[in-house]
Amino acid sequence: MWNRDRLSRGYDLASKALLSAATPAGSWQGELSSSPLSTATAIAALILVARDQPQRQAEFEPLITRGLNWLIEHQNVDGGWGDTVLSHSNISTATLCYSSFHLAGSAVSAAAVMGRAKDYIDRHGGFAAIKARYGKDHTFSVPILTQCALAGLISWQEMPALPFELGCFPHWFYRWITLPVVSYALPALIAIGQVRHHLAPSPYLLVRTIRQAAVRPTLRRLQSIQPESGGFLEAAPLTSFVTMSLAAMGESDHPVARKGIEFLQASVRPDGSWPIDTNLATWVTTLSVNALRPESLPQAQADSIASFLLNQQYRVVHPYTNAAPGGWAWTNLSGGVPDADDTPGAILALLKLAPDHPEFSRGLESGVKWLLDLQNRDGGWPTFCRGWGALPFDRSAADLTAHALRALFAWKNRHRLPSQKTKPPQEAITTASIGNRRIERATAAGFAYLARTQRADGSWLPLWFGNQHAADDENPVYGTTRVLAAYRDSNLVQENSYEKGIAWLASVQNADGGWGGAKNTPSSVEETALAVETLLSVTKYAPAVQRGLGWLLEQVEAGTFRQPSPIGLYFAKLWYFEQLYPIIFTVSALGRAIEQPGESVESKTAVT
């Protein structure tokens, strides 16, 4: 039997683990998984820069060798590599790793490793399978094929030529045309398009002339959008693809390439690997704040976090995506880009921390306005840019829309916006300036979008999370829990979409009491915690909650709740795991369980 005392003990254990992971400043930085994919692309960039600048060979050789050895140690038994050390092999990462060994030549003796890798690639469709995997989206297929071409594994004629000349146009122009890459991939469009033009120019004189005329202007554009850290999006793969392309053109000493190499040198880990991104500091900080019970966070730490978050809010137009001021990115580093998942998270966290300084109110209102301005015509929210809709990572998404709706409702409820027919009190004039009517229109359109995108079985799919054990690598458990949280927090639990979603979520619980990403997938701490938290307030499903809490508490008591699963999807569906996710989600679920009315909690936490 367990009771509120057991819940409290479990929460205390999990929350102490989370609080102990905070930085000295009080916020969180987390730790992203090391990535074979990032490691392979970084190695390739270093090799190609060294070829263009032989005097730097000795400087790069230790990084290249350690990186290749790390890849050797983490090759899967099937001969391939996954995006993380816990991930299934996939054709993209296996191809990049193989091409890096090919580029390295005699740098490391790895004939057996390369043989197994080539067998894996051949069994899974060869290099042609790269195009098939991504279809019309060239965001990642063309960079992979570019590295293969630079390694001499395929000809340049086997890959599309990206229209880098479009980099001459202003950002607003892109929403009116169909680009073959997503909005955040402008650096790859320019650099990879240029190396293809440099090494295999178009046979048509007019096209060659136009592209040649665009080389210098687009290089200037590339330089203007490179962040101070040198890392585009703080991501090793994108930065590496840009750097290797410039090096292959003889431009390894270009300022963009120099800063790219500096970023790679600064972000390599002691074991020789590179992570998929530097950190998700802002994201994991907001998740942590929103997970912890208010009394768990010391006031001094809460004040420090609030200042940290406010300092991460963008106050100027972003040079990369042209995003207006007011949003937040996933990281506190210069390579971040404001988006529609981190901005709601920051708004919710700041509302929970509740500082009274007027500057915080202004920041919150600016963030709310940023969200409202980002909403697409279909009622949903995209990740970065309004109006882009050709490719998945630019379209509206259910998980982003739900998060935005939760933030809008919390902000409106906190400020108790007056009716349009009544004059607001003097102290509410600033916060009410956005107006009820606009908030209500946005939320109505957002929930209409969610109702339309609900699948026939009652579930929703997320954009930024997946599950490698589920069909098509989807994660309907994550997506459904995030959407249901928006209905719950907005007091819309009587809606048919909510009831269908709740019923579906309960129906996919595993026999062991936990949840995976979908029906009959292995239970994970992350997905079980999310499901339990979502079902907690629904009396009808008390038995499911009871079994789920039991499974989760067993993980806490055994210490295994710290073990992460690769459920995160990064740009172009690259897998990652974050060490803090299972801890954060556990804290949130157990904290909400404790806060349920006493009778309800006891009924849901007693074994019969």
pLDDT digits (tens, 9 = 90+) for 262-307: 999 999 999 999 999 999 999 999 999 999 999 999 999 999 999 9
Fold (CATH) for 1-31+457-608: Glycosyltransferase (1.50.10)
Window from 364-378, 552-566, 594-608 with minimum mean pLDDT: 594-608
Neighbours of 456 (CB within 10 A): 7
Domain boundaries, the chain: 1-31+457-608, 35-275, 283-453
User: 283-453: same fold as 35-275?
Assistant: yes
Task: Provide the pLDDT for residue 388.
Answer: 59
Q: Residues 436, 439, 443, 446: is their CA dihedral positive or negative?
A: positive
Q: Give SS3 for 339.
A: strand
Residue 139 pLDDT more than 90? no
The predicted structure's pLDDT at residue 355: 67
| Pairwise CA distance, residues 185 & 270, whole Å | 29
pLDDT of 225 higher than 50:
yes
Residue-wise pLDDT for 82-125, tens only, equals 999 999 999 999 999 999 999 998 656 688 999 999 999 999 99
Going by pLDDT thresholds of 50, 70 and 90, the confidence category of residue 51 is very high
Q: Specify whether domain 35-275 bears CATH 1.50.10.20.
A: yes
Identify the DSSP state of 232.
G
Does position 393 have pLDDT exceeding 90, yes or no?
A: no
Which pTM does this prediction carry?
0.92
Contact present, 187 and 242 (Cβ < 8 Å):
yes
Q: Where are the alpha helices (DSSP H) in 416-495?
A: 436-453, 476-489
Digit-coded pLDDT (tens) for 394-424: 789 999 999 999 999 999 988 654 433 333 4
Between 67-81, 121-135, 238-252, 498-512, the lowest mean confidence (pLDDT) is in 121-135
Cα distances (angstroms) measured from residue 381 to each of 267, 393, 489, 570 = 32, 11, 18, 18
Q: Quick one: pLDDT at residue 536?
A: 95
Residue with tokens 């908030």: 439
Tokens of 158: 């086997």
Strands (E), 214-298: 274-275
The structure tokens 């109702």 sit at: 451
Residue 319, pLDDT above cutoff 80: yes
Greater pLDDT, 323 or 25? 25
Q: Which residue is associated with the tokens 């690997």?
A: 273
Res 435 pLDDT > 90: no
**pLDDT at position 132 over 50:** yes
Beta carbons of 574 and 34 less than 8 angstroms apart = no
Q: Three-state SS string across 351-393, please?
A: HHHCCCCHHHHHHHHHHHHHHHHHCCCCCCECCCCCCCCCCHH
CATH of span 283-453: 1.50.10.20
Q: What is the distance between the alpha carbons of residues 168 and 222, in angstroms, rounded to a whole number?
A: 10
